[in-house]
């Protein structure tokens, strides 16, 4: 084994021992891998969207910067690692600056391994390097361009008025026309939930100490109880038909458990009873109050009569009151695969009022197709593609054409189904000889000429 090979192997083994599998994943077939670097945010860090009614949102976590790399045979003695750097919240201009600084770090340490230094920079110094301070402005979705306009803007104008080529290694993983703010807030919620699950709490009922993963926290009041106690409490209340009274056990506390919390602690049969009684009582009372569907919020929202749009007064999230997803105007609600599987039986056995409700929620044509086809193989063939590695059916809702199989975690191209390297998955779209060159976002919508422009990033 050469000195370079030995240094590479030692570095990869060291990274695997320092970081867990979510932070560092070594490639199977090449000397390379993927690093997910979570940027360390200062306390009380906030983000905002220019012109948004809600001024600022506090976040503790942002999606990681993803560094995919391959180590050349003569690394570290002569050549630097080949890499791409991708992000869901930085612009290509900012990512280009980071790529250049990684090159500079290599030049300073040429002849020595550099991956650990890169990771430390991406985790600890990115905000200072890019002069990002709280509150940080989050870019809004870029409007679709008309046909005939440029599909890709390869140059961006810097603050000094000079033109600077964008680095092809800088990858923005989100469609610029998508609203990134909800994605950032949802990621932050998920990470905060993981932090809660790792802490120890004392149950206010049985007074035993348990990890947060074994506890339930009422969102409005913050009172914490173990899941065992709350599961028994919920079961008794639901069997007695008191689905509107799943309150926090703390005396005089009016906080109520959310449906998602109830679903975690009771079996399917009991939750179906809870869901049915809750829906029926809501229809009977003609309720004009719904709850914000965001997991870390669940604030009560007043809804206008005959309107399907709710706007949370706390987090300003605009959502559809029928499907609880982001508000989609007059378009029918999009059903998930799981919802579609159960829609036929639910519709066939429903009352006339419930059938009208389902038709309003999903659209009459969607219901008819579900009933007629019974979600046969034709639906899978039309909407899904098989993972080229394990054959799992994959449905693409939105996003770029670099897909990740939900079963085997293999990267592959949605357009041609080629397997992509974990060390450098974007080379398939950056290589001029590739059939999918410059088609990372090809087919996102019907307008193939509409693409991103980094002009708006400045």
Q: Could you list the active site residues? A: 400
Q: First and final CA of the chain: distance in angstroms?
A: 48
Token reading at 135: 């509150």
Looking at the chain, how many residues does it have?
A: 458
- Phi, psi (deg, nearest 5) at residue 309: -110, 130
What are the CA-CA distances from residue 150 to residues 144, 145, 452 (Å)? 12, 9, 9
Q: What is the 3-state secondary structure (H, E, C) of 266-279?
A: CCHHHHHHHHHHHH
What are the CA-CA distances from residue 172 to residues 20, 84, 92, 144, 417 (Å)? 25, 11, 6, 17, 21
- Phi, psi (deg, nearest 5) at residue 348: -65, -30
Q: Evaluate whether 425 touches 402 at the Cβ level (below 8 Å).
A: yes
Tell me the three state secondary structure of residue 361: helix
User: Rounded to whole angstroms, how far apart are CA atoms 240 and 358?
Assistant: 28
Helix/strand/coil percent split, the chain, to 5: 35, 15, 50
User: Rounded to whole angstroms, how far apart are CA atoms 141 and 107?
Assistant: 37
User: Rounded to whole angstroms, how far apart are CA atoms 201 and 211?
Assistant: 6
As a whole number of Å, the CA-based R_g of the chain is 25
Among 409, 366, 368, smallest CA distance to 387 is for: 409
User: Rounded to whole angstroms, how far apart are CA atoms 222 and 457?
Assistant: 39
- Torsion angle (degrees, nearest 10) of CA 435, 441, 445, 450: -100
User: Rounded to whole angstroms, how far apart are CA atoms 128 and 40?
Assistant: 11
């Amino acid at each position: 084994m050469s000195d370079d090979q030995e240094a590479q192997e030692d570095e990869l083994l060291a990274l695997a021992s320092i970081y867990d599998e979510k932070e560092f994943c070594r490639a199977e077939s090449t000397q390379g891998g993927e690093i997910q670097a979570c940027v360390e945010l200062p306390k009380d860090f906030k983000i905002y969207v220019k012109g948004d009614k809600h001024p600022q949102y506090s976040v503790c976590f942002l999606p990681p910067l993803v560094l995919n790399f391959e180590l050349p045979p003569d690394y570290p003695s002569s050549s630097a690692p080949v890499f791409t750097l991708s992000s869901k919240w930085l612009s290509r201009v900012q990512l280009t600056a980071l790529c250049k600084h990684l090159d500079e770090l290599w030049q300073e340490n040429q002849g020595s391994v550099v991956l650990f230094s890169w990771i430390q920079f991406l985790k600890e110094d990115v905000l200072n390097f890019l002069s990002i301070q709280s509150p940080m402005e989050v870019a809004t979705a870029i409007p679709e361009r008309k046909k005939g306009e440029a599909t890709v803007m390869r140059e961006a104008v810097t603050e000094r008025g000079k033109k600077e080529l964008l680095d092809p290694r800088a990858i923005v993983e989100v469609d610029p026309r998508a609203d990134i703010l909800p994605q950032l807030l949802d990621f932050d919620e998920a990470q905060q939930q993981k932090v809660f699950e790792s802490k120890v709490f004392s149950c206010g009922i049985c007074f035993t100490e348990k990890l947060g993963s074994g506890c339930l926290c009422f969102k409005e009041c913050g009172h914490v109880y173990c899941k065992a106690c709350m599961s028994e409490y919920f079961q008794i209340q639901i069997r007695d038909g008191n689905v509107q009274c799943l309150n926090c056990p703390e005396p005089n506390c009016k906080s109520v458990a959310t449906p998602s919390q109830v679903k975690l602690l009771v079996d399917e049969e009991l939750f179906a009873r809870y869901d049915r009684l809750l829906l029926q009582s809501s229809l009977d009372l003609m309720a004009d109050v719904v709850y914000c569907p965001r997991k870390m919020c669940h604030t009560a929202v007043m809804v206008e009569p005959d309107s399907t749009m709710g706007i949370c007064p706390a987090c300003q999230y605009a959502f559809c009151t029928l499907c609880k997803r982001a508000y989609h105007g007059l378009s029918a609600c999009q059903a998930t695969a799981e919802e579609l599987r159960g829609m036929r039986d639910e519709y066939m056995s429903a009352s006339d009022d419930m059938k009208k409700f389902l038709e309003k929620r999903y659209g009459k044509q969607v219901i008819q197709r579900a009933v007629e086809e019974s979600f046969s193989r034709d639906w899978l063939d039309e909407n899904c593609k098989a993972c080229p590695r394990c054959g799992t059916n994959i449905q693409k809702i939105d996003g770029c054409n670099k897909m990740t199989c939900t079963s085997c975690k293999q990267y592959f191209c949605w357009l041609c189904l080629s397997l992509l390297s974990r060390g450098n998955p974007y080379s398939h779209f950056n290589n001029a000889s590739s059939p999918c060159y410059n088609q990372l976002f090809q087919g996102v919508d019907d307008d193939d000429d509409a693409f991103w422009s980094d002009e708006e990033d400045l």
